[in-house]
Structure 1
Amino acid sequence: MMVGFLALLRLCRPTQWLKNLMLFFPPFLSGSILHPEVAVKGMPAFIAFCLASSSGYILNDIVDLDHDRLHPRKKYRPLPAGVLKPVAAAILALLLFCGGTGVAVISLSSRFLLFLLLYLLVTAIYSLKVKDIPLLDVFCVATGFIVRLLAGGEAFAVLVSDWLFLTVFLLALFLSIGKRLTEKRNLGIEAELHRKSLAGYPDGFLDGAMYLTGGSVLVTYSMYTISRGQLLYTVPLCCFGLLRYVLRVKSGLSGDPTESLIKDAQLLIIALVWAAAIAWEIYSGYRI
């Protein structure tokens, strides 16, 4: 019984729920994260996206089942390892989809529900076709982060600025490209067997694209801090984080954003210092 529950939990990929913290960026950066209504709106929004994103991960695992059985790491996931049947996974995905959309319908606005459905549509399109097409695959992943950001703005009634929009999009693109680069390097000649899009990236292209998007993130984030009239001193923290991720990827370590943040002490510390610096600047004069 416990083994089955743990397998179902692994199938949901709870560590990936960290990505849904993007929902809280708009209220955090706008200075409203401490308002009492944020908790009331925030928990349903976060739960809805966690349930919905897990349903998308399960769909992707079902579609990729044959390829994952041959993958050196993914073959240990519940479906390719044979711990769970595809039918059980499909039922769980449907329940999570209904749960996520149900929470949005009951607790949040119709516009938030539209953002959630758009996210689910983007992930479904990615899993069924786009992930095999070079460039479109990483742009589709980046779009998922933008939808989260805009959904957070809708949930908390915060307008997302142009510079923040560009920064998040380019950062997501940068991280997605880094992940593809590590996959292409680590899988070698078998890369195409596990992810078709990797065959469409010529040698050196992903390296150049990672440097290009990383530099663009630094520029757009700098412009965002200048437009706010504060936070400029956090730009060196952003620069360090970007370079640390590049160093990690080029050193042969995993480029998965969530895994990098959790397992790389320097990245985790710099992220916490960045959050603390932002919080100090924005909330130091806050009074409850």
Structure 2
Amino acid sequence: MAEKPDDLLPLFSGGTFFLSVACPAALLPFASFCLASSATYILNDLLDREHDRNHPEKRLRPLPSGLISPRSARALALALALAAMVLAWQVSGAFLLLVLLYGGVSSAYSIRLKEYALVDIFCIAAGFLLRLEAGGAAFGVTISEWLFLSVFLLAVFLGTGKRLSEKNRLGRSAASHRKALVAYPEGFLDGTMYMTGAAVLVTYTLYVISRHSSLLLYTVPLCCFGLLRYILRVQSGKGGDPTESLTKDLPLFIVGLAWAVMVGWGIYAP
């Protein structure tokens, strides 16, 4: 399950980001989720190490390649999970509960749920939403209904794009890497990606309108370009990993940076 800084998104969109980050205690929620997500990453790699040896890129990871032993990986995952819970407890009981739920969903995904079509994508989306809600609980920010829907639909969109990219790239060997890939009929992932991409644009537009900011309204075309650029990358066989797409695709990176600057200016400018 991909890690994204969604736990800081409510703080940023709520207009209190710079006030809160000045306090060292504000870094605890972020650190806690980084540790928790790292622990679940290791668990997923432990369980997937045999399948990852059949993947053209994942076979080079430390566990599939044999660089790190499973015993060392298990010890590190346990240490990270315990550290995450200790930090979460110092934030609040509600935040600890959300971290535990995130860990539970991520672990269930790694152990079994990733093998079921659609369930795997919705588990990824649940991780995004739990991080979003945890950020709101940690910093006392109310999550907008439109922001909640935008994040959920964006997570489904990105998860679908990643699955489609994997299925197209692996071809006949897809079943040996991930069982859920062969359960998706031809054209299903394409249609789902288009549908959720359109829904993201609509919900994000309504979120922007609800903020009553004329500058934020101009970020909608950037959002539209970003969604279409990601679809173009996936359909062109250039990969569907969201992080890789943002950092290695120059147009997408420039648009993402412009979007962040405009949103920040629209929220924090006097």
CA deviations over 1:41-74 (Å, ceiling 9, x no partner): 4311111111110100110011111111222111
> Which aligned pairs between 1:233-248 and structure 2 lie closer than 5 A?
233-248=218-233
CA deviations over 1:58-113 (Å, ceiling 9, x no partner): 1001111111122211111111111111111000000000111111123x011011
Contact residue 138 and residue 177 of structure 1 kept, 8 A? yes
2:43 corresponds to: 59
SS of 2:186's equivalent in the other structure is coil
User: Aligned partners of 1:58 and 1:220: how far apart in 2?
Assistant: 34
2:124 corresponds to: 141
Write the letter of the residue equivalent to 1:45.
Answer: P
CA deviations over 1:147-202 (Å, ceiling 9, x no partner): 00111111110000110000000001000000000000000001011000001101
Contact residue 41 and residue 155 of structure 1 kept, 8 A? no
Q: Could you tell me which of 79, 87, 90 is aligned with 1:103?
A: 87
Relative distance call for 1:39 and 1:247 in structure 2 (3 A) is farther
Q: Could you tell me which of 232, 250, 264 is aligned with 1:265?
A: 250
Structure 1 ranges of 4+ moved more than 6 A: none
User: Aligned partners of 1:144 and 1:206: how far apart in 2?
Assistant: 20
Contact residue 24 and residue 42 of structure 1 kept, 8 A? no
Give unmatched runs, 5+ long, in structure 2: none
User: Aligned partners of 1:42 and 1:62: how far apart in 2?
Assistant: 32
SS of 1:94's equivalent in the other structure is helix
Write the letter of the residue equivalent to 2:31.
Answer: I
> Which aligned pairs between 1:1-288 and structure 2 lie closer than 5 A?
19=4, 21-36=5-20, 39-106=23-90, 108-230=91-213, 231-285=216-270
Residue 37 of structure 1: CA displacement? 5.9
Contact residue 21 and residue 27 of structure 2 kept, 8 A? no
Contact residue 62 and residue 79 of structure 1 kept, 8 A? yes
1:7 corresponds to: none
Give unmatched runs, 5+ long, in structure 1: 1-12
TM-score (norm 2): 0.96
Residue 40 of structure 1: CA displacement? 3.1
Query: How many pairs align?
Result: 268
The percent of aligned pairs where both chains have the same amino acid is 53
Contact residue 145 and residue 172 of structure 1 kept, 8 A? yes
Write the letter of the residue equivalent to 2:17.
Answer: I
User: Aligned partners of 2:124 and 2:242: how far apart in 1?
Assistant: 12
Contact residue 20 and residue 26 of structure 2 kept, 8 A? no
User: Aligned partners of 1:37 and 1:77: how far apart in 2?
Assistant: 34
